[in-house]
Amino acid sequence: MIYDLIIIGMGPGGYEATLTALRKGLNIAIVEKNKLGGNCLNRACIPTKYFRTGAHLIEKLDTLKNYGINIKGNPEINYAQAWENKEKSIGFLRRSLENLLKSKKVPVYKGIGKIIDKNKVEIEKEDGTKEVIEGKYILISTGSKPSSVGNIVPDGEYVITTEDYMDKLKELPESILVVGGGVAGCELSYIMNKYGTKVYIVELMDRLLPSPIIAEEVSRYLLRKFKKLGIETFFSTTLKEYKVKNGKVEAVLSNGETLNVDKILLSVGRKPNSNIDTIGIEKDQKGFIKVNQYLQTNFENIYAVGDVINSPMLAHIAQYEAKIVLHNILNEDKKSPDYSLTPWSILTAYEVAHVGLNENQAKEKGIETITGYYPYTYNEKAVDESEAEGFVRLIFEKDSKKIIGGYVVGIGASEIIHEISLMIKAGFTAKEVHEYIYFHPSLSEIFAYASYDVAVGKLF
């Protein structure tokens, strides 16, 4: 039989494509070499968020007494126990996915898929046998894998990748050097810190978190917290060399300092899994599969989404693109993705979230801005929850006072960021942001205060 659609890679992109395809009655087949759910479910977003919940709860133990909850002595912190429970949670979610596929009788070909003809995928199975399946359309959603850098070679033991971290590291080391202070580096550093590991971060740039998308003031605010937590950072510095000695790693930094740690965690970004075909699907210099505005490769029936193409490497972008691909397969009038309202969220010592344009991004586009700011200090809900750290900044176009972006640092950031996104979408002015009805007490009402100066006038 010829399938309507073959999906290679069952991560967020593949999963979303599946859900829509099934609802539209398409005959689909799935090719997956690893566990269903992809990197996101098994080794990134979901387990990170799981451990981050634990890390944040450990931090919150200090606030229990505010509510008359008195625990005896210090709690015992057992990372291995968290790890086992993380596996259970992920297992529950993966099974719900497996059960869906079973109940809809979707064939899942376990193995490495290779596109050998514009309508044919060859699957190399674990036992070495091969099978070829045929499809009208093919979706490549094969994701990405950790990059390495320079002379640093992951060995799965002393030098580990973020995937090794999630797959294998059931016990945390006493000390670790994290190479790369980007998203994954900051997220895992906070987790390890709260679970008791001494964490060092070495970062080539002069700050934490990706620039320019994460504003400088956010990066500085996070750094202050990292210092308070005892996370040590080295900026504008690289790992020059390292050697394993007596079960420890001796790491020499470019500033001449030597650190003796148990492990090195490499978190220097990811590269696309684009070695996927023998038919000449075009890739760019970095190995990303090239797609046109409709997410088609140079073969018009073969689409690609997610980390394997050069768009923001975020699970929700893969999902968004998958919806567009399904639309484009099913309709004459094709759609293009619009990334302008992509929400970013980083779950580290604070929740950090961004959407739209920050001041620097606006400046680069020649847009003059005026901004509004409000700290969590006086937000009643944040105070009630003993979570009054953080702030909001809203970015408005100077003349029209229309909201064009914003970022949030603090509790709830990864949810309320969508309100900023929706207000941009709806074309709100500062006055409209200010006068909107937000529940009291909520974190969301901070937007009414962060827009006050611009909408109404300054208080001081």
Instruction: Say how many residues touch its own copies, by CB under 8 A.
Output: 101
- Asked if 196 and 172 touch (Cβ cutoff 8 Å), the reply is yes
Q: Which of 23, 228, 245, 365 binds its own copies (CB under 8 A)?
A: 23
Helix, strand, or coil (residue 323): helix
Minimum distance from residue 241 beta carbon to its own copies (Å)? 35
Q: Which of 45, 186, 253, 264 binds its own copies (CB under 8 A)?
A: 45
Stretch that binds its own copies, among 45-53, 131-139, 141-149, 292-300 (CB under 8 A): 45-53
Q: Which of residues 358-397 bind its own copies (CB under 8 A)?
A: 378, 380-381, 383-386
Q: Which of 58, 108, 116, 213 binds its own copies (CB under 8 A)?
A: 58
Q: Which residue has the tokens 């387990």?
A: 47
Q: Which of 274, 444, 450, 451 binds its own copies (CB under 8 A)?
A: 444
- Report how far residue 412's alpha carbon sits from residue 200's, in angstroms, rounded to the nearest whole number: 27
Query: Which amino acid is it at 56?
Result: H
- The yes or no reply on residue 345 touching its own copies (CB under 8 A) is yes
- The yes or no reply on residue 244 touching its own copies (CB under 8 A) is no
Instruction: For residue 263, list its beta bridge partners.
Output: 176
Q: Which of residues 258-317 bind its own copies (CB under 8 A)?
A: 314-317
- Name which of 417, 446, 443, 449 is nearest 347 in CA terms: 417
Minimum distance from residue 362 beta carbon to its own copies (Å)? 20
Tokens read off for 323: 């919806």
Which residues, 6 or more positions from 92, have their beta carbon under 8 angstroms from its beta carbon?
none
368 sits in which H/E element: none
- Report how far residue 284's alpha carbon sits from residue 310's, in angstroms, rounded to the nearest whole number: 9
Q: Which of residues 394-413 bind its own copies (CB under 8 A)?
A: 412
Stretch that binds its own copies, among 42-50, 129-137, 239-247, 285-293 (CB under 8 A): 42-50
Q: Are strands 369-375 and 390-397 parallel, antiparallel or unpaired?
A: antiparallel
Residue placing its CB nearer to its own copies in the complex, 11 or 146: 11
Q: Are strands 120-124 and 130-140 parallel, antiparallel or unpaired?
A: antiparallel
- The yes or no reply on residue 40 touching its own copies (CB under 8 A) is yes
- The yes or no reply on residue 341 touching its own copies (CB under 8 A) is yes
Minimum distance from residue 65 beta carbon to its own copies (Å)? 7
